[in-house]
Every structure is written in structure tokens, then in C-alpha cells.
Structure 1
Amino acid sequence: MTAAHTAEDIIYDPSDPAVMADPFPVYARLREHDPVHWSPSLKSWIITRYTDVRDLLLSDDLSVKRLTQFYNALPPADAELLKDIIHYLNLWLAFRDPPDHTRVRRIMRHAFTAKAIEDMRPQIIEITDMLLDRLETKGKNDVDLIREYALQLPAFVIMDLLDVPRDMLDDFKEWSDDMAVFIGGARNSGDKYERAARGCQKMSSYFAQLIKERTENPKPGFLMDLINARDEGDKLSEDELIATCILVLFAGHETTTNLIGNATLLLLRHPDQLAKLKADPALIDSTIEEVLRFDGPTNALVRVAAQDHDLHGRQIREGERVFVMVNSANRDPRMFDDADRFDITRQQNRHLTFGQGIHLCLGAKLAREEGRIAVERLFARFPDLALDPSAPPEWLDAMVPRGTRRLPVLLRG
């Protein structure tokens, strides 16, 4: 059987529940037989090898400015519905190329300092312990760890960061979920445009008012730092500030929720590794890095071809959509020894989960810190934590984020 024939036999269907639960076997086949795979259902290229993913993220062959082309091709009614969300998303760092990206990232760096993240550590611990106390006092043994812990922890951290009252969690969760069906590439949501428009309108209105209030009544904190951030006299416009707040809230809580959930699931499914961590808590840093590699919270990053170029004999045309499959790259045996083994003591771990190059995630340090604290204190508080045998995890239906929508656990085995 020729490689070309083998490639034709590979069907990558991200909406298949079996693929949602475990996409890695199909990634392995694609890496081996069709590393530059054209998906007719997605109308996109699927790139799966580590060096290709890394090099493309560093290359000028791809652009992050994929929304304008998509928007211009919409029917007039859909275009009108999505006008606001496209406006704000186009102001996100994640959707801007240089020189706009360079300018905004330079300004934002003045708020996203290492010291600012370090100063948040006591707050993260306080939130974590509060949520664990709640779990302990509820008297229930079976809980959904995502809803009761992994979702709330990073959401409260980000809400505190942006000076949003914690009692607004349900509102922000609803607005964020509405936007996620559009941004995250949900495959089975028929009303995703209506939901995305509603979520964006609610969130942008809230942050516009909050920024106005904070500007008129200054108060120390991250939001004030963001408002005051300057680089050579340049600052963020009002719309850029609103867009940045939405980005920080949306990306800041979703990625970390999935990191905490995936870490817990992996450790419970690999009791030998959990035993190592309990015996040596200093392994928490390498544990989080291995979770990020082995089954990280970012399944793929989406780009559009900025120009025609050739990759492994396939011609990628300008304007075509490209999914660089980060989670596949992180399991490439060409880069990682014994790549399909979950090993919390792994030393060489140059995963691509937070991206590469100019679009390296600004919030990576915060996500790591939250992940370390959340996992360490969860297993310290509930050492007999176990998966609920009567209820399997439910995975997100999405191309970009990777995580469970529900993770039923027993707090005391």
C-alpha cells in the first residue's frame, strides 16, 4: 500500500466522540502517512509533525489575521450579526500580525510583568483553599470537578485581576461560553453566531463601563496598570482596552480550566505517576509541563496562509485555513523519547502548548502557577480522589481548546 493511498484512507473527524475523547491515534497516523493533510469537511489543512508546527508558527508563510477573509465571505445577515465580535476579536493580540501585534504586545508587557504574576500567588492560594473548603463542607462525595473547581478557580483569579465582582461568575461564564462556540471552533452548534454575538455584546458593554469607572476613579491593580500602560508614549485605545479585557478573561480562564481538568484526569489514570508526585511534591513543576505536553489544553492553533508555499510536496494556497495541531506535535516521536508515555519526571520537554515566536502566550506564567497550586492542593486535601466509575468524562466539542466539559470524581474514592 502506498503512502498516498494510506493517506486517502485517513479521515480526521474532530466531531466524532471517539476522536474527541482520544485524538492521538489518528494524529499518529497523520504524522506518519499524511503530515500535511487536507480535510474536506473542515476545508482546511491539518499539520501534525513537531518541526512543521514549530517552523510554521515562526514563519511568515502563515498569518493570524484569518477573520477578515471569513467575515467578508459571510451572507449579509450573518455579517451584520457578527459585526461587533469580529471588530473586537480583530483587536486581540491573537489575531494581529506585525506591526500592529508588535505595538500592542509591547504596551501590554508593562501590565503582564513577572512581579504582577508573583504578587498574585497568595490570592490564587486563597481562592483554591476557599473552593476546596466548599467541596469539603458540601457533604457530597461525587462532584463534577470542572464545574465545582477547575472552572471556578481560574475564573475567580481573572475576575479579581480585572476587578470584576466574584458574584458575577455565572454571567461571565454564560457570556464566555457563548463566545467559545464561535472562537473555539465548536462543530455541532447550529446557533453559534447568535450566541457569539450575544456574549460579545454583553461582555464588551460590561468592560466599557468598568474601564470608564476605573479611569474616572483610579484604583491600584492590573486593570489600572493596563489603562495606564505606555510604551514610548503610546497607549491602548478604548476599544483595544475592551478587547484586551475580553481576551484576558476568555483565554485566561478557559485554558487554565482545561489544564487543571486534564492534569487531574491524567494523574488519576496513571496512578504510578500520581504516587511519584505524592512521594515527591517537588515534581509538581515537571508534572504540569508533562500535562501540557501529553494532553495539553490547546489542541490546535489556527492560521491562514499568507502566501502560496509548498510543504512536503503539498501546495498550500494563499487564503487557505491551516490548523497547526499542537497536541499532535507534542506527541511526535521524532522530538520526544517514548512520546506516548506520560512521565512526570521527563526532563527534555520543549512542548509547543503556549505557541512559539511572537505569539507565545503572554499568560503562560499565570496558567502554570494556577495549575501547580490547583493540582498540588487538590490531591493534598483529597488524597483518595478517584474517577467516578459510573460516569465517564465528557469532552469538549471543539477544535482549538482541549479539555473535559464534565469530569465526575469521587472525593474520597
Structure 2
Amino acid sequence: MQLLDPSNRADPYPVYERIRESGPLLLPEAHLAVFSRFRDCDDVLRHPDSASDGTKSTMVQRRMAEGEVVRPLGTPGFLFLDPPDHTRLRRLVSKAFVPKVVKALEPDITAMVDDMLDRVADAGRLDVISDLAYPLPVAVICRLLGVPLEDEPKFSRASAVLAQALDPFITVTGEMPDNVDERLQAGDWLRGYLRELIDLRRSAPRDDLISGLIAAEEAGDQLTEDEIVATCNLLLIAGHETTVNLIANAMLAMLRQPGQWTALANDPSRVAAVVEETMRHDPPVQLAMRIAGEDLTIGSTRLAKGDTMMMLLAAAHRDPEAFDRPDVFDPDRDGIRHLGFGKGPHFCLGAPLARLEASVALRAVTARFPGATIGGEPVYKPNLTLRGMESLPVTL
């Protein structure tokens, strides 16, 4: 399937267009339906019988019946759970991401961004990823969780390998990816690292999320150590990989239309529209998966309980039935909407934080370097689901 071909990462949108024009793609032997139109994807995300627990899928149930261990790393993050466990875990974590708490981070985020831009100003060039888009979200999520920033080099590789595990390779091909052992090793290492950190926070609590989750567990809130580890693991990966892509994709879109870069430099109030249009035009999360918890119908497609539903969100965001001039990056379009943060009970917990980090970074870099231009072609990682760049050189 062309979706999985890494050579399409730089511009997957022609492939998405061909899939979308053909309507829902049905693969009965894999019990899989691929949706790429906005209305269908929106319906799946909102449907009360859409499940997030992958073990409810017919194909996974078959693998389990054959004796396969489908969760070799143990308890998954709450993103991959359904109520009541999802509700309980999300409620405990959500306190760290309410708007008031996130807003209080703005002065620190602003200072971090200013410091990063100071470091590249004299050089006259910037790599968007390594100099800004990556270190900022990593520093913020480490601070929130209570992960020492000096340990970042240790977990950055593990995080990158585990992000690839979100790609639907097994779902589409029915086969294991080549680097499955590497992913297991990375997952074991990261969970072991988090267990050691939890032990440290038990003996010396701090004002951070790990300490808060331990306190909830010890207060009898039914939070096990495995759940704490899984939650921190999820937030550490999801909490920075996606925001890196958001910041970088927005900068690339504006640099490719220099008028947009200049417009934001001259009017910082445009930044919210720039962020939302980036979420639509080139979303950090390109696809999402759900399982039919019961027999259900999406549009004209009937699905049996246990069928897997893949939503190509990036394709849906360029659906001409939903958007005028869908391929054009236009922060001035009326009523920008997208599915990039999800819908319903799984709406992205970190959306306020991602929006804040991106807004601060984009306002600052355009104001500081209003004449910036692209210094070379972007290089993309092989990831499909969390599609993003490895590097993007910019001349300041």
C-alpha cells in the first residue's frame, strides 16, 4: 500500500487524494475500513460505539487466541483505553493541562524560546527542528512530568523508535515490522527508566505530575504503578512528538508563502489562525484508529463489531466537499475547522499546551527574523502516523 511507502512522506497528499476520490477503502480480509472523507472521519470520531482499545478488534482477538502476546510492554496509555479506565486515568492527568495551569507556563515558554533564538541569531541560520521545534516541547513536557531535562538524550531515541509503533503496519499488512525487536527494547528501557524515576519521587516528591500521580495512587485512587508508567510514557512521547511537528509544519507553510510569514511578523494576533490552519492543512497526526465496539454504519458503510476503522485525517482535511481551496494554506479562511485534536472523550488532553507552545514560538521567530527564507529542502522521518521532519534549514 502506497500509504506505507516512506518515499511519499515529503508529500503524501496526492496519495490521500486518490484514496479519498475512491471513497471508503474496504479490506474485508483484514476487517479494515479506511475512511478519508471529512464527514466519515468526523462520524467515526463522534460515534458512541467507536472504541479505542485495540484488543477489541477481530484481528487482534484472533492473534490472542493463537497465543500471541499483543501487549508485550504491558498496560497501554489511556489514549488506547475505553471507559471506565480511560475516564479514571484521564481525569487524574487532566488537572495538569487545564487552561489556567497551561497559561501560567507562558512566561517560562517565552523565555525558553527567546533563549533558543538568541543562540542562532549570530549564525544567521536556523534548523527548525534541532534549534527550536524539538527542544521547546521536550523541555516543557519534562518540566511538567518531572523528568530531568539532562536525561533527554537517553529517552529521545527510545521515543523516536516508539513513535513508529503508531504506524498501522500490522493492521494493513498483517505482518510484523522489521524493527519490532528494536521497539520492544526501546519500550522496555523507557518503562524501566520511568519506574526508577517513580521510585525517586516516592522518596522525594516534587511539584510535578509524576509526584501527583503517585499521591493519587497512595490516596487509594486505584492507580497502579503500571498505570503511572503507561501514563507518563504516553505523555512523554505524545507530549512532544506532535508539538514538534505542529511548530515545524507551520513554519514550513509560512516560509513557502512568504506573505504569510511577513503577515504574522507584522500582526502577532494572527497566530491562533496560523496554528489552526496548520492543524488542518498539514496536521501533526495524519491518521487515527478506532474499533467498532458494536455493529455500526458510517455514511453508507456498514461495519461489523470488531472491524478496525482507520481515519486518514490529513486526507479528510483536504476534502473539497468540506473545504474551499483545500490544498491552499490560508489562515484567513472563514471558520477554520479540523479533526487534528480528535473529538469526543478522546479529544487531545494537551491541545491547550500545544497551541500555547506553537503560538509563542511562531510569534517570536517571525517577529525576530521577518526576512527569513528556506535554506534547503526539508528531510522527513519515515513515520506515517506522526509524520514530521528531521530537519528544515532556514536562512535568517
TM-score, normalised by the number of residues in structure 2: 0.88
Q: CA deviation at 1:301?
A: 0.6
Matches within 5 A, 1:247-262: 247-262=234-249
Separation of aligned partners in 2, 1:39 and 1:134: 51
Q: Is this contact kept in 2: 1:110–1:229, CA < 8 A? A: no
Larger RCO: 1 or 2 (CA < 8 Å, sep 6+)? 2
User: Are the aligned partners of 1:186 and 1:397 in contact in 2 as well (CA < 8 Å)?
Assistant: no
The worse-fitting range, judged by mean Cα deviation, of 102-111 and 61-70 is 61-70
* Paired AA for residue 84 in structure 2: P
Match of 1:32 among 21, 30, 41: 21
Instruction: Tell whether the 8 Å contact from 1:186 to 1:398 is kept in structure 2 after alignment.
Output: no
Alignment partners' CA distance in 2, 1:382 and 1:257:
20
Per the alignment, in what secondary structure is the counterpart of residue 111 of structure 1?
A: helix
Note if contact 1:185-1:398 (Cα within 8 Å) is conserved in structure 2: no
SS of the residue corresponding to residue 384 of structure 2 reads coil
- 2:191–2:233 contact (8 Å) kept in structure 1: yes
Q: Aligned to 1:409, what secondary structure does the other structure show?
A: strand
2:292 is aligned with 1:328: no
Q: Counterparts of 1:349 and 1:103 in 2: how far apart (Å)?
A: 32
2:270 to 268, 274, 283: 283
TM-fit CA distance, 1:75 = 9.5
Query: Structure 2 counterpart of 1:26, which letter?
Result: V
Alpha-carbon distance in structure 2 between the residues aligned to 1:351 and 1:24: 16
The answer as to whether partners of 1:300 and 1:400 remain within 8 angstroms in 2 is yes
Distance in 2 (CA, whole Å) between partners of 1:64 and 1:289 is 25
**Matches of 1:78 and 1:126, distance apart in 2:** 52
**Relative to 1, partners in 2 of residues 1:51 and 1:229: Cα closer, same or farther, differing over 3 Å?**
farther
Decide whether aligned partners of structure 1 residues 205 and 153 sit closer, same or farther in structure 2, where only a CA change above 3 A counts.
Answer: same
Residue range with higher mean Cα deviation, 271-280 or 380-389: 380-389
2:321 corresponds to 1:338: no
Cα gap change, 1:317/1:395 in structure 2, threshold over 3 Å: closer, same or farther? Answer: farther
Q: Are 1:367 and 2:350 matched, yes or no?
A: no
The 5 Å alignment of 1:129-140 reads 129-136=114-121, 139=123
Q: Do structure 1's residue 198 and structure 2's residue 185 form an aligned pair?
A: yes
Moved more, 354-363 or 62-71: 62-71
Confirm or deny that 1:127 pairs with 2:116.
Answer: no
Q: Distance in 2 between the 1:354 and 1:233 partners?
A: 32
Q: Matched residues in 2 for 1:64 and 1:76: separation?
A: 20
Distance 1:171 1:289, change over 3 A: same
Structure 1 pair 79/155, CA: closer, same or farther in 2 (3 Å)?
farther
Shift of 1:79: 4.8
Query: Residue 93 of structure 1: which of 41, 66, 78 is its match?
Result: 78
Summarize the Cα distance change of 1:332–1:118 in structure 2 as closer, same or farther, 3 Å threshold: same
Percent identity of equivalent pairs: 34
SS at match of 2:25: strand
Q: Spell out, residue by residue over 1:317-358, the C-alpha distance to the aligned partner (whole angstroms, 9 max, x if none).
A: 333322111122222233333322211123402211000000
- Please, which runs of 5 or more residues in structure 2 have no aligned partner? none
Match of 2:373 in 1: 386
Q: 1:161 aligns with which of 140, 144, 157?
A: 144
SS of structure 2 residue aligned to 1:376:
helix
Matching of residues 142-157 of structure 1 within 5 Å: 142-157=125-140
Is the CA contact (8 Å cut-off) linking 1:336 and 1:349 kept in structure 2?
no
Across the aligned residues of Structure 1 and Structure 2, the Cα RMSD in angstroms comes to 2.9
> Which amino acid letter does the alignment assign opposite residue 20 of structure 1?
R
In 2, are the aligned partners of 1:84 and 1:201 still within 8 Å (CA)?
Answer: no
Choose the corresponding residue for 1:55, options 35, 43, 46. 43
Cα pair distance change 1:151/1:321, threshold 3 Å: same
Find the aligned partners of 1:207 and 1:176 in 2 and give their Cα distance: 13
Give the conservation status (yes or no) of the 8 Å contact 2:169–2:177.
no
C-alpha distance after superposition, 1:124-171 (max 9, x if no partner): 12222222222235x3x5553212321111111111112222221211
Per the alignment, in what secondary structure is the counterpart of residue 170 of structure 1? helix
1:226 is displaced (CA, Å) by 3.2
Residue 195 of structure 2 contacts residue 229 of structure 2 at CA under 8 Å; is this kept in 1?
A: yes
Map of 1:109 onto structure 2: 94
Report the secondary structure of 2:75's partner residue. helix
Write the distance in 1 (CA, Å) between the matches of 2:291 and 2:210.
32
Match of 2:157 in 1: 174
The corresponding residue for 1:46 is 34
The CA deviation at 1:299 is 0.4
Give the drift of 1:185: 4.2
Moved more, 247-256 or 273-282: 273-282
Spell out, residue by residue over 1:240-262, the C-alpha distance to the aligned partner (whole angstroms, 9 max, x if none).
11111111110000000000110
How far apart, in 2, do the equivalents of 1:284 and 1:327 lie? 21
* Structure 2 Cα separation of the partners of residues 378 and 186 of structure 1: 37
Q: 1:41: Cα distance to partner?
A: 11
- Residues of 2 paired with 1:136 and 1:215: CA distance? 42
CA distance in structure 2 between the partners assigned to 1:24 and 1:323 by the alignment: 16
Identify if the C-alpha distance between structure 1 residues 281 and 42 changes in structure 2 by more than 3 Å, giving closer, same or farther. Answer: farther
4+ residue segments displaced more than 4 Å: 39-43, 67-80, 185-190
Aligned length: 390
- For 1:302 and 1:345, how far apart are their aligned partners in 2? 31
Change (3 A) 1:16 1:208: closer
CA contact (8 A) 1:218 1:224 kept: yes
Q: Which residue of 2 aligns with 1:14?
A: 3
Q: Distance in 1 between matches of 2:342 and 2:235?
A: 16
**Residue 9 of structure 2 aligns to a residue in which SS?**
helix
Provide Cα deviations, 1:14-47, integer angstroms capped at 9, x if missing partner.
Answer: 134563222223333433331x113699873220
Which residue pairs with 1:404 in the alignment?
389
Write the letter of the residue equivalent to 1:32. E
Q: Structure 2: how far apart are the matches of 1:199 and 1:68?
A: 25
How far residue 77 of structure 1 moved from its aligned partner, in angstroms, is 12
Offset at 1:181?
A: 2.0
